Chain A
Amino acid sequence: MDLDFLIAILPQALLDGLILGFMYALIALGYTMVYGVLEFINFAHSEIFIVGAFVGVESLLALQATGALEALPWPLVLLLVLAAGMIVSGLLAVTVERVAYRPLRHAPRLIPLISAIGVSFFLQDFIRFIESIWRNAFNLVYPSIEALDHRFEITTRVDVSVKSLVVIAAALGMLGILHVVVHRTKVGTAMRAVAEDQTAASLMGVNINVIISLTFLIGGAMGGAAGVLFGIQYGLINPYSGFIPGIKAFTAAVLGGIGNIPGAMLGGLVLGFLEALAASYLSTLTGGAFGAEYKDIFAFSVLILILIFRPRGLLGEVVRERA
C-alpha cells in the first residue's frame, strides 16, 4: 500500500467529491421539497432533471448553429441555457403533477408512488422518441464552451475547472434563494403551512392547489438547472442518464433527512464524498480485490448503516404519529 500515493491524491479526491456532492445536492433539493410539502416521493424527478439537460443541449446546439455561441459572452450563454432548462423542467413538473398526481391525491399513499414510477419510465422513452425523430441520436454531446472548460491548477496535484466552480456556486446560490423564499416570504410561509397540515392551511385561506403547483414548479426548475449543469459538466447525455443520478440524489435526500432542505445539501455532499473517495481509493486500499466498480455499493452500504442507526436521516426530525 503506497501511503504517499494515497495522501498525494487526497486533496483532488476530496475536491471531486465536493463537486459530485453539490451536483447530487442540487438534484436532491427537488425530491426533498416535494416530500416536505406532500409527503410524497416524486420518482419522476430524475427524468425532469434529464429533460433539463436535453433542453440545455438543444439550446446550445441551436446557439451554435446560429453562431451566437462564439459571439456572446459565456455568462450570458450560461444564463440563457439555464433559464431555458429551468423553465421547461419547472413547467413539466407542474404538468406531471396536474396529470399524474393531483387526481390521486386522496388515494392510499402507495398509488401516487406507482404513478410516479410510471411517469418516470414514460418520460425516459418519450425523450428517446423525440430525440430519435428530431436528431436521430441516442447520445447527445454538449458543445464545448472554452471558458467553462478552462482548468485552474491550484497546486501541482489539484486542479479544478471553471464549470465545476459554476456547479458549486449554483448549488449554494439555489440553496440560499430557497432558504429566503421558504422562510422570509409569504409564499414560503404558505408552503410550510401546507407541509405541516393541509386542512388547517386551507382553512386559513391558503390555496392548496396553487401552493402545491408552485412547489413542483420550484423543485422542477432546480432539477432542470441541475440537468443543464450535469450536461455541461460531463458532456454526454442520453435519455436514460437521469435514472442513476436520480436514485443517488433521492438517497442523498433521505440520508440528510427527507423534507429538510439543508439536509438535502448535507446528504448530497456526504454521498458525493463517499462515492468519489471509493472510486479513487478502493482499488489501492484493497490491493485490487475491489475496484472502482464497487463505488456505488460502498456508498449505498454506508447509507444503509447510517439509516439503521439514525432512521430519520442526519438532519431529519422524528415524525410523531399524528393523534
Chain B
Amino acid sequence: MTDVQHPRHDLDDLLTHAVRFSVVAALAAVEKAEFAAVRDSVEITAPTLSKQVALLEGAGYVGVEKGRVGRQTRTWLLLTHAGREAYTRHLAALRRIAGMPK
C-alpha cells in the first residue's frame, strides 16, 4: 500500500487566505518593496495590507523595515527565509491540486 498524502496537507494555513498568498507571491518576486507598491500591486487598501502584514510578520514570514527618503518615511516589506520556504511549499501544493506541472 502506498502512503501518498493529498497535496492539501502541504498547504500553509496562513497562506490559504487569497490576499496573504498574493502579498507573499508578490514579495517572492523581488528583494524588497515599499508598502504602497505592494498595496497597489495586490490591489487592496492600506488597512487591509497592514492587517495581513501584521499576521505574516507575526508568523516570521515577512520582515518590515523603516527607512527615510528625504523627509519621507518609507516602510519596506521583504520575504524572510521562512516565508520563502512556506511560499515554495504552498505553491507546489497548489500546483499539484490544480493539476499543473511543478
Chain A partners chain B: no
Interfacial residues, chain B to chain A (CB-CB below 8 A): none
Interfacial residues, chain A to chain B (CB-CB below 8 A): none
